[in-house]
Chain A
Amino acid sequence: MSQKVIDFEVPIHQLAQEYPDFVDIMYSIGFTKIKVPGMLNTVGKIINLKKGSKAMGIPQDKIAQAFEERGYELKNYDQ
């Protein structure tokens, strides 16, 4: 049983390593800087989705929806 879980409190760098489609999904929601070389390896280790949502002004529910649509389960997501 392999569950795909997106934890909103885990550094995004870790999520990106776990799930190959993570970066593209994030990019499609509006986190365009995630593809700038050197960003995921630095900022990505500090920041989780909760903080990312606030820093980029992208609401958490928009992130939640995008990942749910692709069959992810959500963890630590405050509705």
Chain B
Amino acid sequence: MTNKTLTSVQRQKKIVEILNFLHEGGDFDKAKKMFDESFSSVDVSEITSAERELISSGLNPMEIQNLCNVHAAVFKGSITGNESTPAFEKPGHPVATMKLENLVMSSLINDELLPCLKKWQQNGKNEEYLERMQKALKDLMTIDKHYSRKENNIFPLMDKYGITAPPKVMWGVDDEIRGWIKDAYKMVTSDPVPDKYKVEAAIEKACKEVLEMIFKEEEIMIPMLDEVATPEDWYMAEQDEKDIGYTLIAQPLPWKPTDKELAEGKKKKNPKIADELNKMAQGLADADGLEAKDHHREKKQIPIVDVTPSLQPKEKPAPKPAKEHMSMHEKIRQRSEHKLDPVKTGLELPSDEINVRFETGRLNLDELTALFNILPVDLTFVDATDHVKWFSNSPNRVFPRTKVVIGRAVVNCHPPKSVDKVLEILKEFHEGTSDSNEFWINLHGKTFVYIRYYALRDEDGHYLGCLEVSQDVTHIRALDGEKRLLEQKTKAKEAPETEK
């Protein structure tokens, strides 16, 4: 079927059909094929007019942006012939998303912010340029989403393969850049606006740093990751991205690796750099004397996992014994494998039949999950080896956590400027010189956050790990008077409902 046989209405229908296919997680190359089949001899102007028709017929603007991405990618592909699109260029791949944001930010800096700065300098009385700079810098501040995704989703991938120094250094620079942008924004919004040369220096510094970081991400970080990361790694990163959000772009299409990409990823075992990194990580672990120190203590035996009804296996599923003298890297590997591929007991049960028996009662997995989700506090548990083991997945967490963080060393989960404090707290917990610590911060002047850390110990006093409890206490702090169950009608001074 060629485009000649398609009326513009049919064409629109086809485009929407392809979009829907992509939204349902359809394979990008297949969508490209569908596109090529219907629009083989169509030229760009025809597609743009079809897009215009779609827009006038009331297509959601988000869809339109997706459509533009798709159509750009499809055209890019048609130049290189019939080859399949590299995964990094497919809409929704974390790398493609990162690069798209970088493109938008570069344009914001080079086509808007810097030209406005220049014009404002030439004609300082012109309020329009000042306003446009304010707007541009405000937009640029949303770079926080881009950096947060990188720090929470991409850095753990590097960690996993023993690349630990570069993410730490980069995180430090990210924080500096956040500061530079904020400084510049404060200057252009203060009254009176400071000296022109000061404003110029601040804006140029921020822009230069952002652009250099873009270069570092695309020319250093991504090639390095390409050496080691598998399609599964990228898929895991992709799944957590929308929880954090995006910088100046709409939510991208869902992406998942194709079977072919997965198969090729398997072939790509032991690339040279990964091999060297392995050795290095091992060397570091040996130097640190980081061996599994297990106390092999006698523990009282209680049936913990209580499997109902009669399917109980004779032997309880023993945890994989920790190999002796495991290198740090092997440990990381094992942890992450564990995360991807839970130990199969050969027994599958509905989640409401998996029970944990406490001294004070029994809860099944469904109940436990719901319970943790509804608690008015956000919990994160770091185990006795200082690795993140679990967090409660409440829908409105004060600080977002993503699943890739599980298994990550806690030192790598904090911005460099606060990591020393974290290490100090953990050291005291390990040594037993302290059992808790607390902080409170005022987020953006709106949300009062109370954060507490507790050392968890078993009955014999052995350190089990650290529990972070954070809570938005804005509402609680605003409570006044009383509201009692029995006196619903009496006037309680209601605290203003806080938004979450």
Indicate whether A and B interact. yes
**A interface residue numbers (CB < 8 A to B):** 33, 36-39, 41-43, 45-47, 51, 54-57
In chain B, positions 155-176 with a C-beta closer than 8 Å to chain A are 163-166, 168-169
Q: Is the CB of B216 within 8 A of A39?
A: no
A43 nearest CB neighbor, chain B only: B166
Q: Is the CB of B224 within 8 A of A41?
A: no
B220 partner, pick from A36, A41, A43, A57, beta carbons under 8 A? A43
Bound CA–CA A46/B164 (angstroms): 15
B431 is an interface residue with CB less than 8 A from chain A: no
Q: Is the CB of B215 within 8 A of A55?
A: yes
B46 is an interface residue with CB less than 8 A from chain A: no
Could you jot down 11 A-B contacts, CB within 8 Å?
Answer: A36-B165, A36-B169, A38-B163, A38-B164, A38-B165, A38-B166, A38-B280, A38-B284, A46-B224, A47-B220, A54-B219
B236 is an interface residue with CB less than 8 A from chain A: no
B223 nearest CB neighbor, chain A only: A46
Q: Is the CB of B166 within 8 A of A56?
A: no
Bound CA–CA A51/B216 (angstroms): 9
Residues in B with CB closer than 8 Å to A33 are 169
**B interface residue numbers (CB < 8 A to A):** 163-166, 168-169, 208, 212, 215-216, 219-220, 223-224, 273, 276-277, 280, 284
Residues in B with CB closer than 8 Å to A37 are 165
B209 nearest CB neighbor, chain A only: A57
Q: Is the CB of A39 within 8 A of B273?
A: no
Bound CA–CA A23/B273 (angstroms): 21
* Extra pairs beyond A38-B166, A46-B223, A55-B216 (14, CB < 8 Å): A33-B169, A38-B163, A38-B164, A38-B165, A38-B284, A39-B169, A41-B276, A42-B163, A43-B224, A45-B273, A45-B276, A51-B215, A55-B220, A57-B208
Q: Is the CB of B219 within 8 A of A42?
A: no
Bound CA–CA A56/B170 (angstroms): 12
B168 nearest CB neighbor, chain A only: A36
Residues in A with CB closer than 8 Å to B166 are 38-39, 42-43
Bound CA–CA A43/B165 (angstroms): 9
Q: Is the CB of B165 within 8 A of A55?
A: no
Residues in A with CB closer than 8 Å to B163 are 38, 42
Q: Is the CB of B165 within 8 A of A51?
A: no
B161 nearest CB neighbor, chain A only: A42
Residues in B with CB closer than 8 Å to A45 are 273, 276
Q: Is the CB of B224 within 8 A of A54?
A: no
Q: Is the CB of B212 within 8 A of A54?
A: yes
Bound CA–CA A45/B228 (angstroms): 14
> From residue B324, how far is it (CB to closest CB) to chain A in Å?
26
Q: Is the CB of B224 within 8 A of A57?
A: no
Bound CA–CA A45/B219 (angstroms): 12
Bound CA–CA A55/B45 (angstroms): 38
A50 nearest CB neighbor, chain B only: B219
Q: Is the CB of B169 within 8 A of A55?
A: no
Q: Is the CB of A55 within 8 A of B212?
A: yes
Residues in B with CB closer than 8 Å to A42 are 163, 165-166, 224, 277
Q: Is the CB of B212 within 8 A of A56?
A: yes
> From residue A75, how far is it (CB to closest CB) to chain B in Å?
20
Chain A CB within 10 Å, residue with most, of B163, B166, B169, B224: B166
Bound CA–CA A18/B331 (angstroms): 34
Residues in B with CB closer than 8 Å to A54 are 212, 215, 219
> From residue B32, how far is it (CB to closest CB) to chain A in Å?
31
Residues in B with CB closer than 8 Å to A46 are 220, 223-224
A45 nearest CB neighbor, chain B only: B273
> From residue B164, how far is it (CB to closest CB) to chain A in Å?
6
Bound CA–CA A54/B216 (angstroms): 9
B164 nearest CB neighbor, chain A only: A38
Residues in A with CB closer than 8 Å to B208 are 57
Bound CA–CA A41/B212 (angstroms): 21
Chain B CB within 10 Å, residue with most, of A38, A42, A45: A42
> From residue A59, how far is it (CB to closest CB) to chain B in Å?
13
